[in-house]
Structure 1
Amino acid sequence: MQRVLLFGSHGQVGWELQRQLPESVELLALSRAQADISNQEQISGIAASFHPDLIINAAAYTAVDLAESESEKAYAINRDGAAHCAVAAAEQGARLIHLSTDFVFDGHRPTPYPTDSLRRPLGVYGASKAAGEVEVERILGSKVLILRTAWVYSAHGKNFVKTMLRLMKEKESLGVVGDQLGSPTWAAGLAAAIWRAGEEPGFHGIQHWTDAGVASWYDFAVAIQEEALALGLLSRAIPLQMIASSSYPTPARRPACAVLDKSASYAALGAAPHWRQALRQMLTDNDSE
């Protein structure tokens, strides 16, 4: 049995990791209330008691806009917490899979970002996640897998898909940003990839994983409405207008085009489905928490 310690059990990815638990894994899954990754002593103590072979850090401060006014909290979790997980892994001789984000980039590249691209975050959230990457690399070297992802959604927690479904029931029309591009990623597929990566000790360093394809938030919203109507999750269609980011100002700047190059991870773990296929499957399953 592989002993796996999971931080961030109540998040979207943590929830899916537990749903897909392999029979060969003994899992200790802890929520933020049960394990504060910003507390080094607590994290090292938990790891020392459990003796994991693998630690998965799916815990993060993800409030992108709020991070602009809560930078100390964002760094405590995303940088220091990541470092604490790495120290615990080093103390136990365990591997670490650390989840990161496309927000470590500025989104100015017209083609997908290779894994070795220079980090250029635009805001506090991205900067704190970039700092976390640097820390785990410094502490663990080749014993860490940093897995960057993007635009994650699931039937659990707060995310764009669930927000759009709610607003499409409540509103007569919606404006959705059309000049930010990325790759929507179903947390279930990401979780499956993480479990496969956990079985591949040679799969390490910085890697990228999202579902295949590219969309704007507007494209994503259009697909959500179309798929939800086809499945009977919505009873009517509403007009969707494509708007510019400048029409929807937020405290934090977002990367305009932070598409990730997944060629290495797809070769190692198997390719992900197109994002629209994954969206359809998620809405078909329509599991509740």
Structure 2
Amino acid sequence: MHNILVTGANGQLGSEIRELSSDYENNCFFTDRNELDISNLEAVKNYVDKNSIDVIINCAAYTAVDKAEDDESNADAVNNVAVKYLSQVSKDRNIKLIHISTDYVYDGKNYKPYTEDDIVNPNSVYGKTKLAGEKAMQDINPSNSIIIRTSWVYSSFGANFVKTMLRLGKEKEQLGVIFDQVGTPTYAKDLAKAILEIIPNISNEKVEIYNYSNEGVLSWYDFAKEIMRMAKLDCKINPIETKEYPTPATRPHFSLLNKSKIKQTFNITIPYWKDSLDECLKIMGERK
């Protein structure tokens, strides 16, 4: 049994971990920024000591990708400085740290699925601050700790692409959705389950990086088409190019992640993206 601190507990992944936590024999402590400021080193130390924490799952992140372009200091505080503090506390107290990162650390110019060893080259403030957090964690190097890079996260909790498409699909007759950005969605419930299952088997002297998303490959356009089909929404989805939908932050055009390492290391099976979407829509009462 572990005493697990889950930061960012009200986000998509944190909420899914909360839902699943009763299936595992752990004591979980769920915090958001109002309950624990992880960019305050002393606050982290005190919370960890008071609750005898021996595992930290860091789901906290500044994820407003476009807003981060003009708000780098706050993005850096959460995505970098806080990770540095969690890493320091984890190293000093021999705590397992599982930190969630992103496909945005890559530049999206690859032609085959990214492995954990591929060159990183973020194009946005969000990606740069997330990479800085990864590097801080690697430099401090708490043992038995890992980084999980993931992509296109959605859930029945929080705001995400699936919920946006469902809302717009009910309001509009047609939508333009980007077809020239390719990757794979990640159902946060699947990732949450994987994390809770692998905790007992994490054993490494240096920080290891793993990729995780659902299986398969698609564009945002394909994703939107399948959401409309499963929800039986009569909204026409039109393919558009990225240049037709300019945003402050540059998105990776190619975000496919190679998951061989996490599957082989921990002997886990990763669900196909359509099966996971089907499950999520059923939970939300939107599967028709």
**TM-score interval (norm. to shorter):** over 0.9
| Alpha-carbon contact 2:94-2:142 (below 8 Å) kept | no
**Partners in 2 of 1:190 and 1:82 — Cα distance?**
20
- SS of residue in 1 equivalent to 2:141: helix
Deviation at 1:23, TM superposition (A): 3.4
Residue 103 (structure 1) aligns with: 104
Deviates most, 30-39 or 208-217: 30-39
Deviation at 1:250, TM superposition (A): 0.1
- SS of residue in 2 equivalent to 1:143: coil
Paired positions, count: 282
**Partners in 2 of 1:190 and 1:4 — Cα distance?**
16
Residue 64 (structure 2) aligns with: 63
**Partners in 2 of 1:108 and 1:224 — Cα distance?**
27
Residue 18 (structure 1) aligns with: 18
**Partners in 2 of 1:104 and 1:197 — Cα distance?**
24
- SS of residue in 2 equivalent to 1:9: coil
Deviates most, 169-178 or 86-95: 86-95
**Partners in 2 of 1:224 and 1:96 — Cα distance?**
34
- 1:38-187 to structure 2, matched below 5 A, reads 38-187=39-188
Q: Does 1:3 align with 2:6?
A: no
AA partner of residue 274 (structure 1): Y
Q: Does 1:223 align with 2:217?
A: no
- SS of residue in 2 equivalent to 1:20: helix
Q: Does 1:200 align with 2:210?
A: no
Normalising by the residue count of structure 1, what TM-score does the alignment of the two structures yield? 0.95
- SS of residue in 1 equivalent to 2:201: coil
Deviations 1:89-110, CA, capped at 9 Å, x for gaps: 1222111000000000000001
Deviation at 1:196, TM superposition (A): 1.3
Identity of aligned residues (%): 40
Residue 243 (structure 1) aligns with: 240
Deviation at 1:201, TM superposition (A): 2.1
| Alpha-carbon contact 1:136-1:144 (below 8 Å) kept | no
Structure 2: 5+ residue stretches without partners: none
| Alpha-carbon contact 2:98-2:147 (below 8 Å) kept | yes
Deviation at 1:284, TM superposition (A): 1.1
List 4+ stretches of structure 1 deviating above 6 A. none
| Alpha-carbon contact 2:101-2:150 (below 8 Å) kept | yes
| Alpha-carbon contact 2:145-2:202 (below 8 Å) kept | no
| Alpha-carbon contact 1:43-1:88 (below 8 Å) kept | yes
Residue 256 (structure 1) aligns with: 253
**Partners in 1 of 2:139 and 2:51 — Cα distance?**
24
**Partners in 2 of 1:199 and 1:224 — Cα distance?**
35
| Alpha-carbon contact 1:51-1:92 (below 8 Å) kept | no
- SS of residue in 2 equivalent to 1:112: coil
Deviation at 1:33, TM superposition (A): 1.3
